[in-house]
Copies of this chain bind each other. A is one copy, B any other.
Amino acid sequence: MKQSQLFTKTLKDAPKDEKSLNAQLLIRAGFVDKLSSGVYTYLPLGLRVIKKIQNIVREEMNKIEGQEILMPSLTPKENWEISGRWVVEEMYKIINEDTGLGWTHEEIITPLIKKHILSHKDLPKYVYQIQTKFRNEPRAKSGLLRGREFIMKDLYSFHETQEDLDDYYEKVKQAYDNVYERCGIKELTYFALASGGKFSEKYSHEFQTITEAGEDVIYICNKCQAVFNKEVKEEKCSNCNSDDFTEKKSIEVGNIFRLNTRYSEPFELKTERGTTIIMGCYGLGISRLMGAIVEVLSDGKGMAWPKNVAPFQIHLIEITGGDEEIKQKTQEIYEILQNKNFEVLYDNRDEKTAGEKLNDSDLIGIPLRVVVSKKTLSENSVEVKSRNEKDACLIKITEITNYVEKFFQ
C-alpha cells in the first residue's frame, strides 16, 4: 500500500489523557483512535494487526477441532436469570428492554448446545467464537489492555467425563502456547495457577505475560519454576515446598477454566443417559493481546511488531530530494516485492523529510525497513534494516528478493 493513500496520519505527541504506553504508541502511529474511555476504533494499520492475530487464533482453535460460530451481543435477561448472573456489575443493560450486552457467553452457548447435543455419542464437542464483548469497566485506563468494548475469542468444550475434559484442557494449553509463540511473546508468557473465581472450580489457569504495565502480580518459584497468581500464592510453593519466589508484574493474556457443571446444571444440559454434561471454557483477548505485544515489544522510538502480526512486512521508504528517477526506481522495487506477495507499505510521501519518514518508520514498527536514496542507488543498492537491530546495511538491488525471502523464512 502506498502511504500517501493511507488516510491516517502519525502524531508527534501522544494524547494527554492516555497514560498507557500501548495506547500512546498505537494512537500516535495511527493504529487506533480513542472514542471514549476503553473504547477504540481500529484504523487500517491496527485492523490489519487484529486480523492477523485473529487468524492465528482461528487456525490454532481449528487444529484442536474447534467449530467457529458467532453469537449475538443482545442477550435476554431470562438466560442470565437461570444462572443467577443478571445482577452482575460487568453487564451493560439496555434502557426499556430486558436485554443485556454479552460480556461472556456461557448463558447463550449452553442452551444452544442443548438443542443440538442429543446423545452421549455427540460428545465431546468444541465450539468457539471471535466476537466483540462489552464489559462495564470502571478502570478502563490501560488502553487495549482493559476495554469496555473489546475483541475476544471464547471457546467452550462439552464432555461426558472429567477425564475427557482434562485431556482437552491440555490440548487447549498447547494451542495457547502456539498462539503466544506465533505472536512473538512466548518467552515472556507464563502458565500460572490462579483462583477459580466465583464461577468455576477452586483453581483455574492463566497465561500471564510479564510487563510493568500489567495489573496482575505473579510469583515464579525459583526452584521448580511453578507460577502462581498473587491470589493463590502461599508461603511455600505448593509444588516443591520452596519459599524462594521472584515477584513480577504481568498482564493476563489468556485463561482456561474447568466450568464442570456450573452452567450445565441450571440449564439442564444432559445426555440421553441422564449424565450432566461437563464444560470447560477458554478465553483469549484478541485486542488485549495486541496491546500486550506493544507493551513488551517497543522501545523509546516506537513499536516493533513480530513478523507474524505486523501490519505490513516491509516498510519501503524513498528519499528522493525531488529526484523523479529515485521515485521511479523505488516504484519498481515496490512492484518486485508485491509480485513476490510480500506485504509492503511504501512511503511515497513527497511532503515529508527523510528524518520524518525514518521516525515514522520506527514508530510504526514494521519488521524490515528498506530505504532507497541517491546514495544507495549510486551503489545499485538499497539500505535494509531490521526494526530489532541497530545497524543497517546495503544490499544490491538484484539481491533484494533473496534477502527478503531469507529474512521472513
Contact = CB atoms under 8 A, between A and B. Distances in A.
Contact of A92 (B44, B97, B108, B116): B97
B117 A76 contact: no
Contacts of A40: 72
A364 B118 CA distance: 20
Interface centre among A44, A92, A149 (most CB of B within 10 A): A92
Given A8-B116, A41-B71, A74-B92, 18 more contacts: A6-B67, A7-B117, A7-B125, A33-B115, A36-B74, A36-B76, A36-B99, A41-B69, A41-B112, A42-B69, A43-B69, A47-B70, A73-B132, A74-B148, A92-B94, A93-B95, A94-B101, A95-B95
A217 to B, nearest CB: 30
Interface in A57-85: 65, 67-76
A39 interface: yes
Q: How many subunits of this chain does the assembly comprise?
A: 2
A125 B4 CA distance: 11
A232 interface: no
16 contacts: A6-B67, A7-B117, A9-B115, A9-B118, A35-B76, A35-B108, A36-B74, A39-B74, A41-B72, A44-B67, A44-B68, A44-B69, A73-B132, A74-B134, A74-B148, A93-B95
Given A7-B122, A9-B116, A97-B92, A42 B70 contact: yes
A36 B77 CA distance: 11
Interface string A20-57: 00000000001001011001111110010010000000
Interface in A127-174: 127, 132, 134, 148-149
Question: What 4 pairs between A and B have smallest CB-CB spacing?
Answer: A42-B70, A7-B125, A93-B95, A39-B72
A152 to B, nearest CB: 14
A113 interface: yes
A73 B7 contact: no
A122 B132 CA distance: 32
A74 B116 CA distance: 33
User: Main SS of chain A's interface residues?
Assistant: mixed
A5 interface: yes
A75 B92 CA distance: 13
A262 to B, nearest CB: 20
Contacts of A36: 74, 76, 99
Nearest to A30: B116
Interface in A326-357: none
Contacts of A127: 7
B72 A149 contact: yes
Contacts of A68: 44, 47
Given A36-B74, A94-B94, A5 B69 contact: no
A293 to B, nearest CB: 18
B113 A7 contact: yes
B72 A73 contact: no
Contacts of A39: 72, 74
A7 B67 contact: yes
A75 B288 CA distance: 20
A76 to B, nearest CB: 5
A112 B75 CA distance: 30
A81 to B, nearest CB: 14
A117 B5 CA distance: 12
Contacts of A94: 92-95, 101
A19 to B, nearest CB: 20
A99 B6 CA distance: 30
